[in-house]
Amino acid sequence: MLHSILDELKVELSKVFPDFLNPPATEEEIKQVEETIQITFPDDLRELYLTFNGEKESGPGLFFGQPFLSLDEMMNEWKIWKDLEEEYANLLETESDPPGWVKTMYINRNWLPISKDYGGNNIGLDFDPDTEGVNGQIIRFGRDIDVKYVIAVNTTALLQFMVRQLKTMDYTVIPKEYDENDLTWYVGQDEEIIFDSAKQYFPINEETISLEEQLDEETTSLEVQQTEVIDLQKKREFDKTQEGLKWLKKAAEMGDTGSMNELAFQFLTGTGVERDISEGEKWLHRSAEKNDLWAIVELAIRLLDGEDLPQNAEAGEQWLRQAVHLRDPIATRILGYRLIKGDSLQKNVAEGEKWLRQAAEDYNESVAMRSLGLFLLKGEELEQNIDEGEYWLERAAEAGDMSAMRNWGKYLIRGL
């Protein structure tokens, strides 16, 4: 599974940045690290490093502006924390978010860095989780991180999120502060520390992990045989998931599309449940057939790009056009943009311009305004029209689109 995710990630990154990832590490190099830290890499982390051993210094920062560390850089960071652990392990009082997932320590040698921010903070894997946590969960920790929160349940989930952001174009690219010849990026339109906001995309919250509120430890006696349950400590988590699925399915069978969408997402991505593509596709189709716009657009994109589902550009286009027929602004913008660029659809600039204009003019969709403005200003794909391009880019900026604000400001000062 991770192999296909890494292939997708490489393809999507190549659309935005020049090649910046290093060649793969060797098994011997990984074993040397494992022997030093006395931790065995999980399969997905191992496969990541057997594909790319970090990134070049000029890279944009794989993890939304924060660099992907090579094995040598990883060990340098790890050794710094290890040397400080004995004296400073409990230097500061910290918190865990969600509660009970990350041990409330300042330093723990079992936190393995895979990224850094050059300010004493890291993103890494937690191999010593607290009672409710998951071995190998992705966390932020470091000098300025008083609340140590879980970004994703594992490396695979983190990379899936990144691929999704790239495919939906929910990110912003900017020149690096100290070298405008190199680029960096962040998620969404708000220039924040990515993982302070990205955790909202992961179903790790009080509703999904507050096991004590719904299960009485003394009455839990089911013997769970599923292979993904590593030890008895995870048994109650599994039981709670099954209870949650029962209620979601009950609501979905009664026609609630929101529950259908939640089931589709969970089964397609393997988030909180064992991944089951056919089950996820079933619920996504059922919701889309009830004209739920989120499901229609989601199904369209997954079919067009072959994300989790077998690629079927013809069916994907049909669903996308259905959402456009239902006057969904985002679908209208996506159809227009993809037709103009020929992205998984047969290129048709004239029709694409029509839909992109409709999203901008009729629906005031800010990303459509921005895209239309940039196309017209640059004369890329569409015939150059400076006056109209300025009009749409300014409109997008006034509508609150952060990327449009930045591009409009830059354009006024020194052009694009």
Average pLDDT over residues 351-379: 95
Range name among 38-52, 114-128, 143-157, 232-246 with the lowest pLDDT average: 232-246
Query: Residue 228 has what pLDDT?
Result: 40
Question: Under a CB-based contact definition with an 8 Å cutoff, are residues 29 and 36 in contact?
Answer: no
The whole-angstrom separation of Cα 34 and Cα 201 is 31
Pairing of strands 171-175, 111-116: unpaired
Per-residue pLDDT band for 189 (boundaries 50, 70, 90) equals: low
The closest of 39, 38, 77, 70 to 54, measured between CA atoms, is 70
Domains and CATH numbers, the chain: 2-206 (3.40.1580.10), 242-414 (1.25.40.10)
CA angle 112, 14, 371 (to 5 degrees): 115
Element holding 265 (H helix, E strand): helix 257-269
Query: Residue 374 has what pLDDT?
Result: 95
Query: Residue 391 has what pLDDT?
Result: 96
The whole-angstrom separation of Cα 9 and Cα 13 is 6
The closest of 137, 69, 154 to 103, measured between CA atoms, is 137
Query: Residue 203 has what pLDDT?
Result: 43
The set of residues, in sequence order, having a beta carbon less than 8 Å from that of 405 and lying 6+ positions away, is 397
pLDDT digits (tens, 9 = 90+) for 376-404: 999 989 999 999 999 999 999 999 888 89
- What are the Cα distances from residue 168, in Å, to 165, 221, 311? 5, 44, 16
Give the pTM: 0.51
Question: Under a CB-based contact definition with an 8 Å cutoff, are residues 373 and 381 in contact?
Answer: no
The closest of 407, 416, 342, 343 to 369, measured between CA atoms, is 407
The set of residues, in sequence order, having a beta carbon less than 8 Å from that of 382 and lying 6+ positions away, is 340, 349, 353, 372, 375, 376
Is the pLDDT at 222 greater than 70? The verdict is: no
Per-residue pLDDT band for 235 (boundaries 50, 70, 90) equals: low
Average pLDDT over residues 2-23: 90
Question: Under a CB-based contact definition with an 8 Å cutoff, are residues 41 and 25 in contact?
Answer: no
Question: Under a CB-based contact definition with an 8 Å cutoff, are residues 295 and 261 in contact?
Answer: yes
Query: Residue 380 has what pLDDT?
Result: 85
Query: Residue 198 has what pLDDT?
Result: 44
Percent share of the chain, pLDDT over 70: 86
The whole-angstrom separation of Cα 77 and Cα 19 is 25
The closest of 201, 139, 133 to 165, measured between CA atoms, is 201
Per-residue pLDDT band for 226 (boundaries 50, 70, 90) equals: very low
The residue ranking higher by pLDDT, 238 or 410, is: 410
What is the four-CA torsion angle of 286, 289, 295, 296, rounded to 10 degrees?
A: 150
The whole-angstrom separation of Cα 159 and Cα 165 is 10
The whole-angstrom separation of Cα 409 and Cα 396 is 12
Query: Residue 241 has what pLDDT?
Result: 81
* Token pair in block for residue 358: 């409709």
Per-residue pLDDT band for 37 (boundaries 50, 70, 90) equals: very high
Per-residue pLDDT band for 113 (boundaries 50, 70, 90) equals: very high
pLDDT digits (tens, 9 = 90+) for 273-289: 888 999 999 999 999 99
The whole-angstrom separation of Cα 281 and Cα 271 is 15
Coil vs helix vs strand at 96: strand
Q: What is the 3-state secondary structure (H, E, C) of 297-334?
A: HHHHHHHHHCCCCCCCHHHHHHHHHHHHHCCCHHHHHH
* Token pair in block for residue 222: 């089911």
pLDDT digits (tens, 9 = 90+) for 152-169: 889 998 998 888 888 888
Residue 394: burial class (beta carbons within 10 Å; 0-12, 13-18, 19+): middle
Average pLDDT over residues 345-364: 95
Pairing of strands 121-126, 137-142: antiparallel
Q: Which residue has the tokens 């940039």?
A: 374
Is the pLDDT at 98 greater than 90? The verdict is: no
Q: What is the mean pLDDT of the chain?
A: 85
Coil vs helix vs strand at 141: strand
Average pLDDT over residues 98-126: 92
